[in-house]
Amino acid sequence: MINKRLLIKNLLAHNDESSFYDKKRQLNLHTKEGKAKFLKHICALSNSNPSNNSYIVVGVEDQDNEITGDDFFDDSRIQNLVNAYLENPPKILYENVPFPNLPKDKVVGLVTIKPKSKTSCFKKNIHTILANTVFVRRGSNSIPTEEKIPYSKLNIETVISIENSSRNSIANTLDGVIDFVNNRHKDIPSKYKVFKELFVICWAGIPKKIRDKTYFSRVDIELVNEQIKLFYSAQDDVSIEFDEDTFTITEYVPLGLNDKTSYYPLEQQKISFYDNGYYKIETEMLFEPPQYNRKVLFHIYNSTLSLLTKLQKSQELSEREELDLQSVPSTFMICYLNGFVDAKQKLIDAKPLLKQYKNKEVYVNFKEVMRVLRKMKYNGK
């Protein structure tokens, strides 16, 4: 098994960006421009590496390779974005890799692009990229080309060497477990379990019982062998179940209006372990949005817009309005899921206001809601 933290270090140590890997400060998949840039690099790296894996490292400064980290990104359906825009799309995997020097809510993203023989190209327009455009990698640049791409084994020995030097060891695994339990989560209960005598999952969270069911908040779950963060949330609650072969995480979203909150199952992630040293992660979207009276929602929607207008004009908020501001993201989401089609864009437009507000929990709530909406989008919900 490959230790993803070692792999990232070895990639960054291999000179600068190259024809088999790229690095980014962060990904922006909320805009057409951001999606187009990401897809361009996927297309170029895939076409330039038909015989070996290629990689994108996210959360690294371009100039000096400083590892600054990025937000936890749990969107396994990023493959759907690639499939939607690329002909002959490569298989890709996005993994969240924790580093000891980063805050608990920051990770380094690792995008793995699997090798394939057919040439990838854009099958429809996006931003300034036209359909049928083919990209290749020239050094550290992704450039369009009209030439036929020859089959190449240029990077295969280099990439295999980097991957082999990143293999895991008992010392790496033990250090990872000790760091997780004793350092990163010494303030909250944490546990670990070994599966098939090969895999170690650590998890931490604050337990609470509601109607005979145990939920965990402030949850952090990590597959230690590969240094992959499976789940992280400062807000949402999850339930955890496991047996000798599987580990299942069910994520819940607390939603409600007028201080009446209920728990709605959002997504279930099941990790299955096998005797041959293989594991598989399957996800299933469970979310069914709550439905409310439209007249009541119309009143709440307008009140929320008025609250944002006051915030934009830097007007002083009452104690009640400051409390209501924390619920603005979830209120907009409920309105959007009940047919207020403009609500999602209103929330996105409010991002700068919420981000700079003195109560940081407001912006955390915004990011959590956008994460849920992104999951629903890629599931076709």
Higher pLDDT, 170 or 241: 241
What is the C-alpha to C-alpha distance for residues 246 and 252, in angstroms, rounded to an integer? 20
- 255 vs 298, more confident: 298
Q: Residue 223, exposed/middle/buried by CB under 10 A (0-12, 13-18, 19+)?
A: buried
- Token pair in block for residue 371: 């994460």
Residue 77 has pLDDT above 90, yes or no: no
DSSP per position, 142-199: EEEE-SPPPP--TTHHHHHHHHHTTB--HHHHHHHHHIIIIIITTTS-EEEEEETTTE
pLDDT at 17: 62
Q: Report d(CA 90, CA 83) in Å as an integer.
A: 8
Residue 16 has pLDDT above 80, yes or no: no
Q: What is the largest CA-CA distance in the chain?
A: 66
Q: How many CA atoms lie within 13 A of 43 on its CB side?
A: 30
Task: State the pLDDT at residue 97.
Answer: 94
Does the structure show a pLDDT above 90 at 27?
no
Given a contact cutoff of 8 angstroms between Cβ atoms, the answer to whether 226 and 279 are in contact is no
Per-residue pLDDT tens digits for 301-349: 999 999 999 999 989 889 899 889 999 999 999 999 999 999 999 999 9
Q: Residue 132 — pLDDT band, cuts 50, 70, 90?
A: very high
Residue pair 156/52 in contact by the 8 Å Cβ criterion: yes
pTM for this model (two decimals): 0.78
pLDDT-based confidence at residue 371 (cuts at 50, 70, 90): confident
* 82-127 pLDDT tens trace: 999 999 999 999 999 999 888 888 999 999 999 998 999 999 999 9
Q: What is the C-alpha separation between 41 and 139, in angstroms, rounded?
A: 12
Element of type H or E holding 205: strand 199-210
Tokens of 61: 């400064």
Quick one: CA torsion of 10, 11, 15, 21, rounded to 10 degrees? 170
Query: Would you call 244 helix, strand, or coil by DSSP?
Result: coil
H helix count then E strand count, the chain: 11, 17
Residue 153's closest CA among 105, 115, 109, 205?
A: 115
Half-sphere exposure of 179 (CA within 13 A, CB side): 16
Q: What percent of the chain has pLDDT over 70?
A: 97
Q: What is the mean pLDDT of residues 12-16?
A: 75
End-to-end CA distance of the chain: 35
- pLDDT of res. 253: 85
The 10s digit of each residue's pLDDT in 34-72 is 999 999 999 999 999 999 999 999 999 988 889 999 988
Please report, rounded to a whole number, the percentage of residues in the chain having pLDDT higher than 90.
57
Mean pLDDT, residues 9-24:
83
Contact predicate 263/250, CB 8 Å: no
Region 223-237 average pLDDT: 85
CA–CA separation, 171 and 244 (whole Å): 24
Lowest mean pLDDT across 61-65, 156-160, 243-247: 61-65
Q: What is the pLDDT of residue 381?
A: 52
pLDDT of residue 235: 67
